[in-house]
Structure 1
Amino acid sequence: MKALLWVLLVAAVAVNASTSFAFDGGKQIAISVGTGIIALASAATLFLLRPKRAKA
């Protein structure tokens, strides 16, 4: 599951970064918002799934 989340995060960030070069106007905004939400959700899920460290 973590590998899928990492792939999703990297792909979403790459698509989000490239939309400004490929699209204009409303289409660019819609794709950027969608990929931004996916990137934030996968990053938050990866953060919550991280292994807990014992305090020394």
Structure 2
Amino acid sequence: MKALLWLVLVIAVAVNVSTSFAFDGGKQVALSVSTGTVAIASAVVLFLRWRKDRAAS
């Protein structure tokens, strides 16, 4: 599960960065917001899992 979350995070950040070079206007904003949301969500889940694992040990 952690590996998948890391993969999603890396891909979302890469797509988010590349949208500013590839698109303009509303399409760029929509893609940037959606990939940014996915990146933030996966980072939060990774952080919460890390805290849970740390508290268990």
- Settle same-fold status: TM greater than 0.5: yes
Provide structure 1 residue ranges, at least 5 long, that are not aligned to the other structure.
none
In 1: Cα distance, 2:20 partner to 2:42 partner: 22
Alignment of 1:46 with 2:41, yes or no, is no
Query: Could you say which structure has the higher helix fraction?
Result: 2
Shift >6 Å, 4+ stretches: none
Query: How far off its partner does 1:53 sit?
Result: 5.3
Letter in 2 for 1:34: S
1:29 maps to: 29
2:54 partner SS: coil
- Compute the RMSD of aligned alpha carbons: 1.2
In 2: Cα distance, 1:53 partner to 1:4 partner: 22
Query: How far off its partner does 1:30 sit?
Result: 0.1
Aligned sequence identity (%): 69
Provide structure 2 residue ranges, at least 5 long, that are not aligned to the other structure.
none
CA deviations on 1:4-51 (whole Å, 9 max, x unpaired) are: 000000000000000000000000000000000000000000000012
